[in-house]
Every structure is written in C-alpha cells, then in structure tokens.
Structure 1
Amino acid sequence: MADALMVAEPLGRFGRLRTTEASVAEDVVSRVYVPHQLSPLDREPLDARLNAVQSGPLTLGYLAYGAASKITLPPTETWIHVSITVAGRTRVYRDGVQCATTTGRGSGTILASHQAQVVECDRDTAQFVLKVSRADLEDHLATLSPCPPVAPLDLGPELNLTHRAGRSLLRTIDLVCAEWDDDGVIATDGNSRRHAEELILTQVLLASSVTHQAMLGGGSQTAGNDVLRRTVEFIHDQAGDLPTLADMTRVAGVSARALQLQFERHLGCTPSEYARGVRLRCARDALLYPGTEETSVTDVATRWGFYHLGRFSALYRQTYGELPSQTLRHALRR
C-alpha cells in the first residue's frame, strides 16, 4: 500500500525521504533545501515524505509531514523558497507575527531570504516547494524588464493561486511533475527543460505582489512599431529554437507587459500566442512535406515545441480542420 501511495504522489519516482522520525526528516529536508528546525506540534507520529528533482537553477519537491509540525527557518541571503500548498493549511510567521495563511490549491507563500520565519503545517498539509537562488531570480527579472531589479528582491509573503498568474503557475508545476514522473520530453530534453524552468520563474514573479511588479508592468514604457517589427522578425527567424518570453523582451528592449500590450493592440494576441502560431505553421509544413517515410507526428510536434500530443492534436484540428496524423498520412501517400 505504501508503494502505491508513493507512485500516486507527484514526483513519486524521485523519493528522497520516507520516515516517522523527526530528526531524519529534518536532516534530509535540510540537505535538499536549507538547514532548519523541525518540531512536531503533537504526539502523533510523523509520516514524512519528500520527492524532489533538480532542474537547472530550480529544486522542485513534493513535501508532506503527515502530522502537525512547526518548521523554524533562519535567514539566508542566498535562497528563496516558494511553498505552494496543494492540501491542508499552513500559517507563516515573521518576527513572531503571522503574515500569511495558505490553503490547498488556493494560496502559497514566498519565504524571504533575509528574514527568519516559522511555518506551521496542519496534519494533512502537502506542498510543492520550489528552491531558487535569489541571484538567479533577480537575473531572470532583469531579462523581463529593461529596468534594473531592486535588491534584495522582495516578493512579499503571499502567493495567490486563484488569480490568473497563480493558476498558470500551478498548472505548469503539475505538468512538469507529470513529465518527470512519465520520463517525458521536459524531463529528458535539455532545451525543453530550459523553457519550463524559465516559465516557472516568470510565473513566480507575476504571481507575487510587491516591488518588482512595477518593472513587469507597462508603466510609462511604450512599444512602437519598431519594437513590434523586431520582435515578429525574431520570432520567425528563431522559431526553431523555441524563443521564450524572456528572449523576446531582450530583443524588444521593453518590459514583458509593454510587449504584450503592443501585440494585443496590433495583432490581437500575446507574444507567446503569436510564437505558438508560427510554430504550429512550421509543424504543418513538416507534416505536409515529410522528409522521410519514418517521419512521425510525435517527432514533428516535439521538434516545434508541442510536448503534449493531445493538446497539439486538438489545436491543430481546430486550426486546420483535420488531425495531424491525417495530414501526414495523406502526404506520405502522395
């Protein structure tokens, strides 16, 4: 029964910890994330589990203690931890004052790198915990905005998972975990993994709420026709390299929000949606004119950045009125 539970949990193939001993749980979780103190809040034995993977600058893990617990974290100038509650509830304290409460798939918290904090978890609490260096997150923020980031980066304690950016972050983490569990393209292909890492960092920044938001918004920045032209040309020229939003903002020289407003105003879509349309047309060309009889829909889809074949087929059919397999089958007959 325990083995079945491990498989059912996110990242179940990557178990780092399964114990009833608080000292063992404290040691293992400290080594994966950051040194801390773990204190059970009642006499109920722990059922502590940690499944975790390392992906570029990110550590992504699924953590549950199985008993009411208190985690005391010292300040650290190096790391930022994002805790996304997927079940149960937590309470977060800074300097003895409660600053956030999280609920399953409704909210999370960002644990500041420069303050001591205490997190109390209910018995049924389970969380996705992201660990990223503050320097990497600030560097990523710099790629999304022409303004220099404020240091130290302050993301605030609360992360709303019911708003648009928070829902996107949760969906992306669910997808990434499923890809690792299934040995999918994101887990096995370096280029795909890099895009997923950048997407998670972008969504963390957009879902949080404090000082950096002005840098990601349009503000007084304007994007003229040259910005739109440069970005569109870049998307077409680099479609095969699967450019990210960060790549586009570097070329455009404006913030992510300003670039999005320019695309929506003139093209009726976001930069990412436009890039997806370009990649979809490239995929269609590859299916219409396959190089060899060994060409497959899977090969074409993943080559152009579509890693979920069901969604790719649905989008393709909606756009072109037939399934990608039908396009390829007719082309091979010719």
Structure 2
Amino acid sequence: MSVSFSPSSEPLRQHGRLRTRDVEVAQHVVAEVYEPHTLTPVDRKGLDARLNAVQLGGVTLGYLTYGTEAHIALPASEHWYHINITLAGSSLVTRENGDRGMTRGMAHAAMLLPHRAQTIAWAADAAQFALRIPRADLEGHLATLTRARVGGPIDFDLVVDLDSRAGRGLLRCIEFVRTEWDEDGVLARNADSRRQLESMILTNLLVAASGPHQALLQRTDPAPGPSTLKSALDYIHDHAGDLPTPADVAAATGVSARTLQLHFLNHLGRTPSQYLRDLRLRGVRDELLHPRSAGTTVTEVASAHGFHNLGRFSSLYKSVYAESPSETLRRSRAS
C-alpha cells in the first residue's frame, strides 16, 4: 500500500471537511466527525490541520493530520471504537489503565476503546487513517461471525501489527475502500456494495487485532451436518441479488462464519463469498448468451448481478470464460 501525502494527492482530498490553522475550529470539526476530545498543540501557530472523511454505513473513514506536535485527550464514551492507522510519522497512545503503545507509519495502528479514556501524543509529521465504528456494529459483527454472545466491550490489545499477514490484509482492505471513494467508484455509490465494504472492514479488523476475542474467532464448532451446507446454498441462491455477506449466511444457517467457511472449503473447494461470486458470474453469462433484447448491454447485465466495477468484472469474466463479456454478447447477437 503506497500513500502520497503531498497536498495535491492526499487521500480522500475531494471529501475535505477541514483545512485550518485555528485550534478551536480544528477541535470542533474533528469532534463533530468523530467524538468530543481536547486538542492541545505544542505550537499553536504551527497547526495545519486537515481532515478528509467519508461515511460507509456506520463506519467513518477519514484522513487526518495536524502538521504539528499535539496532545489529544479522548474521554470514555461507551459508544464508539476508534482505530487510528498510522500512515506516516508516529504516535504514543496511553490508556487510563496504564497500557502504552507506540505506532509508526505503515507498521502499526492503535485501537481506542469505548470504555477507556485515552491520550495520544501526536508527532509533528504524523498522518493517519482514522476510523470510527459504532460499538454495537463491531460487537454485533463479532457475535455474528462466531455465533457467540458478546456481552460487553471487546478488550482489544492497544497496538495492531500491520506487518503481520492479517495486518497487511487490513491495509489492503482500507486502501481498496479509499481508492473506490477517491476514484468515485460505483462501489462507493451503490448501497448494497457499501454494505459489503463495511462488512469487509469489520471482518478484517477483527482478524487483524489481537486480544481475547481471538479465542472466539479461532474456536472450532462441532462438524456441521449435511443440512448445514444445503441451508447455506439455499440461502445464497435465494438472496444472491441482495449480495449477502459471509456473516449473513452464517447467521441464517446457525453456525459461525469460520465453521461455515471451512465447511464450504472442505465440500466445494471455495468459500461462501467465492461461491456467491461464481453464482452471480454464471447469471451474467446466461443473460449475455441469451440477451433479453437487442438493446441489452454488458454494463446493465453486470450491474443487475452486483458487479459495479466494470473493469474488475471484465477481467474476472475473461479469466473464467476465456473471452470478454462484450465478445460473448456479440457472438450471441450474431447467432
């Protein structure tokens, strides 16, 4: 993941919320987007605060930098988890229970908990992707993935290692979402796709962050019976147009998302997400082979089956069927 921080190419620039050298304005706007806090720059005259932010369902994703060394005090709120992915520079985060952790650019993220007060010592050259996630959404997603009761705040470890395999997956996920918004991609404008992107962020975050919740994610359920696979397949076929997430399918079949994924891999050689993608791809091919009218287009057929990025769809289609979707449609019309 490469990120450029020049003013002309900073992430999410077209979604700017804040450009100011005024401390009070910076604190007010950032508090409106994220949460009330106290901002104390070491050099008030050196402040150059910039915030670009977008909303993805319940998740807020923003690029934030202050341009000067600063101290931030964030009280406990009970409502939100905050994840600060350090892209450049560094920060020192301290929880009220005494936990301390240093984050460095492209190597670490900090998990800020809803039930703890936290302080952040922000380096002058620090820049971060700051995510705000509703507590109910993240805890509910963990419960859905694991089929376990989550009765209180998740006690994530303070620092997320972005050099780990799961950490790199989280970075790729965030970069993919950022690119869709920066390039005004259809995925960012389509409600069903935004829901998929939000679910992807929550899953990657839960997998990448360390803490007691990992015991739930790694727990192995009793082997599901044949009816589980049938129920999952029936659900996917019946709801393919709604683009169900793996968590949706797991909830419908009464097993954890991990158990369902292993069950699919063992019996079908693919994950539920891959099975759904292949099902949608076959639906597109059927319509291109038998177009409903002379005016049928590849774009409208692909979009109807949930493929909103035409470039990625065309590449996937060609890798499976050895011809482009437009070639399929032309051949069908010619015959």
Contact 1:217 1:256 in 2 (8 A): no
Contact 1:217 1:255 in 2 (8 A): no
The CA deviation string for residues 22-52 of structure 1, in whole angstroms up to 9 with x for no partner, is 2221111111111111122357612210011
**Of 298-307 and 196-205, the range deviating more from structure 2:** 298-307
> C-alpha separation between the residues in 2 aligned to 1:206 and 1:80?
15
* Corresponding residue of 1:242: 243
User: 2:46 is paired with a residue of what secondary structure?
Assistant: coil
Alignment of structure 1 residues 184-203 onto 2, 5 Å = 184-203=185-204
Contact 2:187 2:309 in 1 (8 A): no
Report the Cα offset of residue 58 of structure 1. Answer: 1.4
Whichever residue aligns with residue 135 of structure 1, its letter is A
Whichever residue aligns with residue 102 of structure 1, its letter is T
Alignment CA distance shift 1:317-1:57 (3 Å): same
* Corresponding residue of 1:128: 129
* Corresponding residue of 1:94: 95
TM-score (norm 2): 0.91
Report the Cα offset of residue 74 of structure 1. Answer: 1.0
Report the Cα offset of residue 8 of structure 1. Answer: 1.9
* Corresponding residue of 1:328: 329
TM-score (norm 1): 0.91
Alignment CA distance shift 1:104-1:293 (3 Å): farther
* Corresponding residue of 2:308: 307
For these two proteins, the number of residue pairs brought into alignment is 331
Alignment CA distance shift 1:125-1:250 (3 Å): same
Report the Cα offset of residue 7 of structure 1. Answer: 5.3
Report the Cα offset of residue 173 of structure 1. Answer: 2.1
> C-alpha separation between the residues in 2 aligned to 1:186 and 1:126?
26
* Corresponding residue of 2:263: 262
* Corresponding residue of 1:137: 138
Report the Cα offset of residue 245 of structure 1. Answer: 0.8
**Of 82-91 and 162-171, the range deviating more from structure 2:** 162-171
> C-alpha separation between the residues in 1 aligned to 2:165 and 2:274?
16
> C-alpha separation between the residues in 1 aligned to 2:137 and 2:241?
26
The CA deviation string for residues 291-319 of structure 1, in whole angstroms up to 9 with x for no partner, is 22332222222322233333222221111
Contact 2:23 2:44 in 1 (8 A): no
> C-alpha separation between the residues in 2 aligned to 1:155 and 1:252?
28
User: 1:8 is paired with a residue of what secondary structure?
Assistant: coil
Alignment CA distance shift 1:307-1:170 (3 Å): farther
Whichever residue aligns with residue 47 of structure 1, its letter is D
User: 1:17 is paired with a residue of what secondary structure?
Assistant: strand
Whichever residue aligns with residue 191 of structure 1, its letter is D
Whichever residue aligns with residue 255 of structure 2, its letter is V
Alignment CA distance shift 1:98-1:67 (3 Å): farther
**Of 77-86 and 145-154, the range deviating more from structure 2:** 145-154
Alignment of structure 1 residues 214-225 onto 2, 5 Å = 214-225=215-226
Whichever residue aligns with residue 240 of structure 2, its letter is A
Report the Cα offset of residue 320 of structure 1. Answer: 0.8
Whichever residue aligns with residue 138 of structure 1, its letter is E
> C-alpha separation between the residues in 1 aligned to 2:230 and 2:271?
14
- The answer on 1:64 being equivalent to 2:65 is yes
Contact 1:7 1:13 in 2 (8 A): no
* Corresponding residue of 1:81: 82
> What are the ranges of 5 or more consecutive residues in structure 2 without an aligned counterpart?
none
Alignment CA distance shift 1:278-1:152 (3 Å): same
Alignment CA distance shift 1:179-1:273 (3 Å): same
Whichever residue aligns with residue 208 of structure 2, its letter is A
Contact 1:150 1:211 in 2 (8 A): no
Alignment CA distance shift 1:130-1:313 (3 Å): same
- Considering only aligned residues, what root-mean-square deviation do their CA atoms show, in Å? 2.1
- The answer on 1:297 being equivalent to 2:298 is yes
Report the Cα offset of residue 155 of structure 1. Answer: 2.2
The CA deviation string for residues 63-101 of structure 1, in whole angstroms up to 9 with x for no partner, is 111122221111111111111122222221123845222
> C-alpha separation between the residues in 1 aligned to 2:300 and 2:106?
34
Whichever residue aligns with residue 261 of structure 1, its letter is L
Alignment CA distance shift 1:124-1:304 (3 Å): farther
Q: Percent of counterpart pairs with the same letter?
A: 49
